[in-house]
Amino acid sequence: MAPSTIACGFTVITGPSGVGKGSLVKLLLQRHKEIWLSISATTRAPRDGELDGEHYHFLERDRFFNLVDSDGFLEWAEFAGNCYGTPVKPVKEKLSDGIPVLLEIELEGARQVRKNFPEALQIFLAPPSFDELEKRIRGRATDEEEAIQKRLVRAKEELKAKDEFDAVIINDDLLTAVSQIEKQMGFESP
């Protein structure tokens, strides 16, 4: 795996559901152990194999909105019928300790971060085509048809916003996409 040298302080990765954000982030974290990935809170039910506190903090809606009301989130948004938010405290702690912070969030959340942290690097991960995106969402086999439809509708909207971002990376070949992201983040090539 590539050794890390320089790290960008604060990076946000966005892109439509099924584009490969999770796969790419996993690889990035394996290659750069110093990166800290924020664990989001969500009102979505856990998928098979997802663990509370590891993949997400799974919260009831009441608890989620208590946190919204008490400014517990750096950003939050509703996506395909569920709420998702980034707990603010750990992010601020890591940034003040000089640890590179990574958020993997949807478009509305990325826009909120852009407003409050304009220095953060914002990366949009795009699919090679819409058909390939649909294949990936279906191939992942984690969502019901209704959820898939909501995600595909939302994906069309998200794709229109790609030019707002500092960089657009096409996730065709995963390793190529990871190395393009590393370059954007200021890591030296392996």
Residues that bind ligand 5GP (CB under 6 A): 17, 21, 40, 44, 75-77, 79, 84-86, 104-106, 108-109
Cβ–Cβ < 8 Å for 103, 12: yes
DSSP string, 67-115: HHHTT-EEEEEEETTEEEEEEHHHHHHHHHTT--EEEE--HHHHHHHHH
20 touches which of ligand ADP, ligand 5GP, none (CB within 5 to 8 A by kind)? Answer: ligand ADP
Give min distance, CB of 116 to ligand 5GP, in A.
13
Give min distance, CB of 23 to ligand 5GP, in A.
12
* Nearest Cα to Cα of residue 36 among 56, 9, 58, 59: 9
164 touches which of ligand ADP, ligand 5GP, none (CB within 5 to 8 A by kind)? Answer: none
Strand 41-42 to 82-87 pairing: antiparallel
Give min distance, CB of 122 to ligand 5GP, in A.
13
Q: Looking at residues 21 to 40 of the shown chain, list those that interact with ligand ADP (rule: CB under 6 A).
A: 21-23
DSSP string, 6-35: ---SEEEEE--TTSSHHHHHHHHHHH-TT-
Give the angle 163-23-146 at the CA atoms, nearest 5°: 75
Give min distance, CB of 75 to ligand 5GP, in A.
6
Contact mark string toward ligand ADP, 103..142, x via CB under 6 A = ---------------------------------x--xx--
Cβ–Cβ < 8 Å for 2, 190: yes
Q: Give the C-alpha separation, 76 to 83, whole Å.
A: 7
Give min distance, CB of 125 to ligand ADP, in A.
7
Q: Is 18 a residue that touches ligand ADP (CB under 6 A)?
A: yes
> For ligand ADP, which residue has the nearest CB?
20
Residues in the chain: 190
Backbone φ, ψ for residue 79 (5° rounding): -140, 120
- Binding range to ligand ADP, per CB under 6 A, among 76-84, 86-94, 154-162, 169-177: 169-177
Nearer to ligand ADP, 114 or 140 (CB): 140
